[in-house]
Amino acid sequence: MATQLFQKIQQLKHQRNAVILAHNYQPGEIQDLADFCGDSLELSRKAAQTSAEIIVFCGVQFMAETAAILSPEKTVLLPDKFAGCPLADMITAEQLRQLKHQNPDALVVCYVNSSAEVKAESDYCCTSANAVEVVNSLPANRPIIFIPDQHLGRFVIERTGRNLILWPGYCPTHVVITIEDIKKVKEKYHDAIVMAHPECTEPVKELADQILSTGQMLKFVRTSSVKKFIVATEIGIIHTLKKQNPQTEFIAASDRAICPNMKKITLDKIISSLEDMQYKVTVPEEIRMKAKKALDRMVEILPEK
Ligand code: SF4
């Protein structure tokens, strides 16, 4: 059945001159089907580089929006219009305007997990991989508002020594991972390295050997001689880790670390998306231009390697 669906998607993709991009947290079969897998920013860059006219973005709303911000001439489709990100929804543009009003001298750094409107109100964008470098590059005499993820924010405070103004946002999928989960798996796999995403809570990060973004986890494992890892992030990444490192063992820190929004994308929905050209993700031009500035500033600080 899955093979038939795969074939149908390949056929439609060809007819439409489309490319399929999938986030590392997508279900395994969708990662297998995709032309490119990666983190949100890698995928948006792929979207900008591709010669395909249609981009089927297997991820969540803010990721598809970021692709639309960087590639306005392409059609960006999100196969499930309800695939949102609760973390991105935890701050609105209006709430950010109020925060800026209360801190008129502050620069705003927003995590890429935010809406286009929030990016448009921000000075700089960042990812979990480069948040420390972005903050380190800013003038020492300026206060910094960091939104929306408080846990990533605390990680940046610890690494930079800067006193950030945080917003109480969090990723519901990462905060379900507890210290008890880590202790339990560590007891069983005492020789494994614990990798935790910066969106995890502080006690969990304290127990980790490495605090890494998804892209950094993939790289770290590839270059490590260790053959056993405990993975404290959304479990979808274990599919890619196993594929890239078949001889290595990966243990999920918690089987509950599943993002329900990421799992909304299915093969059937990708077919409907390509057949009916749905659901188009667009960003109004005025917002797009401002949001792009925040993304461009991040790239200027940290050019693509
Ligand atoms: S894992 Fe967390 S941050 Fe990522 S899309 Fe899901 S809710 Fe948003």
Tens of pLDDT along 105-158?
999 999 999 999 999 999 999 999 999 999 999 999 999 999 999 999 999 999
* The pLDDT value given to residue 305: 52
Q: CA 209, CA 185: separation in Å to the nearest integer?
A: 14
Please give the pLDDT value at position 124: 97
Is there an atom of ligand 1 within 6 Å of 39 CB? no
Which residue CA neighbors atom 2 of ligand 1 most closely? 171
**Ligand 1 and 113: CB distance under 6 A:** yes
Does ligand 1 come within 6 angstroms of the Cβ of 86?
Answer: yes
For a mutational test of ligand 1's pocket, the pick from 61, 80, 114, 262, i.e. the residue with the most ligand atoms closer than 8 A to its C-beta, is 262
**3-class secondary structure, 137:** coil
Q: What is the distance in A from the centroid of ligand 1 to the CA of 3?
A: 29
Output the pLDDT for position 202.
Answer: 98
87 CB under 6 A from ligand 1?
yes
Beta-carbon contacts of residue 13 (< 8 Å; ≥ 6 apart): 19, 20, 56, 274
pTM attached to this predicted model: 0.96
Both tokens assigned to 133: 């470098």
Task: Quote the pLDDT of residue 303.
Answer: 61
Q: Which residues of the chain register pLDDT less than 70?
A: 1, 302-305
CA-closest candidate to residue 241, choices 219, 261, 258, 262 = 219
The pLDDT assigned to 148 comes to: 98
Say if ligand 1 is within 6 A of residue 262 CB: yes
Residues 6 or more apart whose Cβ sits within 8 Å of residue 232: 174, 177, 181, 182, 194, 195, 196, 197, 200, 204, 208, 253, 254, 257
pLDDT at position 47:
86
Q: Tell whether ligand 1 has an atom less than 6 A from the beta carbon of residue 261.
A: yes
Q: Which residue, 255, 233, 21, is CA-closest to 128?
A: 233
Cα separation, 94 vs 157, whole angstroms: 25
Report the pLDDT value the prediction gives residue 300, as an integer from 0 to 100.
Answer: 84
C-beta separation of 262 from 240 below 8 A: no
